[in-house]
Amino acid sequence: MKMQLLSAGEYHEKTSYFRNRISPHHLDFDAYPLAFKPYETLEKIKLPTKFPQQDRPLSTLFSSCPGKGRLDITALSHILFLAYGVTAFKHSQSIPVLNRTLPSAGGLYPCHLYVAISGIEGLETGVYYFDPIHFCLGRLHGTYAPRDVDTVCFMVTASFYTSAWKYRERAFRYMLLDTGHLVENLELALGLYDVGHTLFYDFEDRAISDFLQLDPSLEVPLVCVSSGRDRNVSAMGLAKKPGEPADPSSASSCLTDRTRPVQYEILSQIHSLGSIVKQERPFPLPEITEKKGLGSVAVPMETQPMEGGQGFVDSVLLRRSRRNFVQDTLAIRTWSALLNTLFCSLSFDASRPAARALDFLSMGMICQNLEKLDDGCYFFSGNPSKMQLMEKGRFAGAFAGICLNQEWIKAAGINFLFMANLEELEKAFGPRGYRYVMFNAGRIAQRIYLAAQGLGLGCCGVGALYDGEAKALLGLNRTSVLLYAVAAGPIKKTRGHEI
Ligand SMILES: Cc1cc2nc3c(=O)[nH]c(=O)nc-3n(C[C@H](O)[C@H](O)[C@H](O)COP(=O)(O)O)c2cc1C
C-alpha cells in the first residue's frame, strides 16, 4: 500500500539515521548528476566577467538594509557569480569537482537559479536560466510583465535527483538547507550593490513552476527574491503561464544522458505537503527542551569590524569547507564576533509568516576552548545578548560520534546547533513551516561560513547525524529535533594558508 505522509515531522522522522541501520547504498558514478541544466536549444548570452573592485566588511553587510541601488548587466552578472558562481574547476576520477561560492551537501549543488529580468539595458525582458558553469544566461521565454518595470526577480529551485543520487529519501533536507545557503549569498550580494529586495518563501508553487516550465516531478521552486518595489508576489508578473513550449533538454533536469532518475515518492510527497501556504496561527514560542539551564551567560557584543577581517567578496571567493580543526584557544573578541553573526537579523518582509518563523528556529552551540567561557552546551534565547548554559563539559567527542563518527568534529571550537520543535512549528505554519526553518538554518549557516572565513577560522556544515542520538545528547523534548550543525573554529595553518 502506498504510504502517505501526514506531516513534515513525519518526513523528518522517516528520514532519520539510526546507528547500524543505514541501508547500504551504491553510488553510481556513471549516473552522477550534472551540476547544470543543458538547455541545448536556447540562445546563450555570455555574462560580463570584469567586475568592479568593490567590497564591504561582512559585519556591515550583515546588518545593512539595502536601498536604492540599481542593477545593470555588470552588477547582475557579479551578483549571480557571488551568489552561486564557480571559483575553480577540478576533476576527480572523471567527476567534475567544482569549488563554488557556497557549500553544498555532498558537493552536489541541487539548486538552480533563474532570473526574470525587466528594465536592464542589454538584456531583453524575459526569464533566464543562470548557467554557472558556462557563466551565461539562457533565455527561456519573454512572458514577463511586472507591475514595476524595473523588477528583477531571482528564483531558486532544487532538483530532487541531484541530491537524491547520494542522499535518497533524506535529500529534501539538503535541498532546503542548500537553498538557504544560496539565498543568503544572493541577499548579501544584492546588499553589496545596495539593491533593495524582498524575500518570498510563500507563493503558489505551481504558478512559479509553470512560469519556469519545470517538470515538478524532477525540480521544484523554493524561494523568490524580488528587487522590485512591489511587495506582493503576484504583482511581480511571475504567475502567468507562458504559452511557449519548454526546451526538451531542460526536462531532463540535471540527469546524465543515459539515466532516468530513481524517484523517491517521499520527496514529491513532502514537497507537495508544503505546497499550501497556511495562514499562520498565533502560538506561544515553542520549548525545545524540558531541561532547566544552569544559568544565563552574557554574549559580548562585537560591533566593530574585525581588524584584518576580510570583506564579503574576499570571503565568498576564498570560502571552502575546512575540517582541519585544532584545539587552540579562541580569543573572546573572535568568538563573540562569530556569535554575533547569528544574531544580526535576517532580512525579510517582516509582515510575512516566514519572518516570524525565525522565532521557531532555536540555536545553540557545543563549545570548547573559548576564552573566558566554560566548555559546555549552550542554548541561545530570544534575547540576542544572552545564552543559557545547559550543561558544562566537553561534548565535542560525543557529538562527533553522533555525526556518523566524523572524527574531525571532535576538535572544533564551536559546533553550532540549529533545532526546532516541529510539532509546534506545524501547528503555527502547517507543513510549509519546515521549509522556513530549514531555509533560515541554511542562511545563518552561510553567514557563519563567511564570518569564519573572514576571521581566519575553519568552518564546515554537518548534515550527517544520527537524529535520535542527537536529540538525546542535547536533551530535546519529544517533538523537537536537531536540523543541522555547523562546526567552526581555529584550524591548522601551513605557510600562512589553511589546508
Ligand atoms: C547542508 C550541508 C551539509 C553538509 N554536511 C556535511 C557533513 O556531514 N560532513 C562533511 O564533511 N561535510 C559536509 N558538508 C560540506 C560539503 O561536503 C562541502 O560543502 C562540499 O563538499 C563542497 O566543498 P566546499 O564547501 O569546500 O566548497 C555539508 C554542506 C552542507 C551545505
Ligand 1 neighbourhood includes 321 CB (under 6 angstroms): yes
Query: What domains can be seen in the chain, in order of their start residue?
Result: 8-273 (3.40.109.10), 296-498 (3.40.109.10)
Region of residue 475 (phi > 0: left; psi between -120 and 50: alpha; otherwise: beta) = left
Type and span of the H or E element at 296:
strand 296-298
The set of cell numbers assigned to 416 is 553550532
Confidence of residue 496 (pLDDT cuts 50, 70, 90): very low
CA dist 349 and 356 (Å) reads: 10
Average pLDDT over residues 484-497: 82
Tell me how crowded residue 311 is: count the other CB atoms within 10 A of its CB. 19
**In the prediction, which pLDDT does 357 show?**
82
Cα of 323 from ligand 1 centre, angstroms: 10
Ligand 1 neighbourhood includes 107 CB (under 6 angstroms): yes
Does the pLDDT value for residue 214 go beyond 90? yes
Ligand 1 neighbourhood includes 381 CB (under 6 angstroms): no
| Nearest one of 291, 152, 173 to 222, comparing CA atoms | 173
Does the pLDDT value for residue 304 go beyond 70? no
Confidence of residue 6 (pLDDT cuts 50, 70, 90): very high
- Atom of ligand 1 at shortest range from CA of 106: 17
- Atom of ligand 1 at shortest range from CA of 408: 11
Query: In the chain, helix, strand, coil percent, each to 5?
Result: 35, 25, 45
Helices (H) and strands (E) in the chain, counts: 15, 18
Q: What is the mean pLDDT of the chain?
A: 89
Please give the share of the chain, as a percent, with pLDDT higher than 70: 88
Ligand 1 neighbourhood includes 219 CB (under 6 angstroms): no
Distance, CA of 179 to chain centre: 4
Task: Supply the pTM of this predicted model.
Answer: 0.95
What stretches of 67-164 adopt beta strand conformation (E)?
A: 86-92, 95-100, 111-117, 126-131, 136-141, 152-159
Ligand 1 neighbourhood includes 87 CB (under 6 angstroms): no
Residue with cell 544574531: 343
Q: What are phi and psi of 219, to 5 degrees?
A: -150, 140
Please list the residues that pair with 498 across neighbouring strands: 493
Residue closest by Cα to atom 7 of ligand 1: 462
**In the prediction, which pLDDT does 241 show?**
56
The set of cell numbers assigned to 149 is 518595470
Cα of 294 from ligand 1 centre, angstroms: 33
CA dist 185 and 416 (Å) reads: 19
- pLDDT, tens digit, 9 for 90 and up, residues 412-451: 999 999 999 999 999 999 999 999 999 999 999 999 999 9
CA dist 151 and 308 (Å) reads: 37
| Nearest one of 390, 409, 401, 407 to 487, comparing CA atoms | 409
**In the prediction, which pLDDT does 98 show?**
87
- pLDDT, tens digit, 9 for 90 and up, residues 349-369: 555 667 778 889 999 999 999
- pLDDT, tens digit, 9 for 90 and up, residues 292-303: 999 999 888 765
Ligand 1 neighbourhood includes 406 CB (under 6 angstroms): yes
Ligand 1 neighbourhood includes 458 CB (under 6 angstroms): no
The pick from 181, 315, 321 for probing ligand 1's pocket by mutation, whose C-beta has the most ligand atoms within 8 angstroms, reads: 321
Ligand 1 neighbourhood includes 180 CB (under 6 angstroms): no
Tell me how crowded residue 46 is: count the other CB atoms within 10 A of its CB. 10
Does the pLDDT value for residue 344 go beyond 80? no
Q: What is the rounded end-to-end Cα distance, in angstroms, of the chain?
A: 51
Does the pLDDT value for residue 494 go beyond 70? no
Average pLDDT over residues 469-479: 97
Ligand 1 neighbourhood includes 320 CB (under 6 angstroms): yes
Span of 39-48, 86-95, 99-108, 126-135 with lowest mean pLDDT: 86-95
In our burial notation (b when 16+ CB lie closer than 10 A, e otherwise), range 75-89 reads: bbbbbbbbbbbbeee
**In the prediction, which pLDDT does 499 show?**
37
Q: What are phi and psi of 245, to 5 degrees?
A: -70, 150
Cα of 389 from ligand 1 centre, angstroms: 28
Span of 65-74, 340-349, 425-434 with lowest mean pLDDT: 340-349
Does the pLDDT value for residue 102 go beyond 90? yes
Cβ neighbours of residue 317 closer than 8 Å, sequence gap 6 or more: 87, 101
Ligand 1 neighbourhood includes 205 CB (under 6 angstroms): no
Ligand 1 neighbourhood includes 395 CB (under 6 angstroms): no
**In the prediction, which pLDDT does 498 show?**
43
Average pLDDT over residues 245-261: 60
SS3 state of residue 217: coil
Confidence of residue 77 (pLDDT cuts 50, 70, 90): very high
- pLDDT, tens digit, 9 for 90 and up, residues 129-161: 999 999 999 999 998 888 888 889 999 999 999
33-42, 140-149, 391-400 — most confident range: 391-400
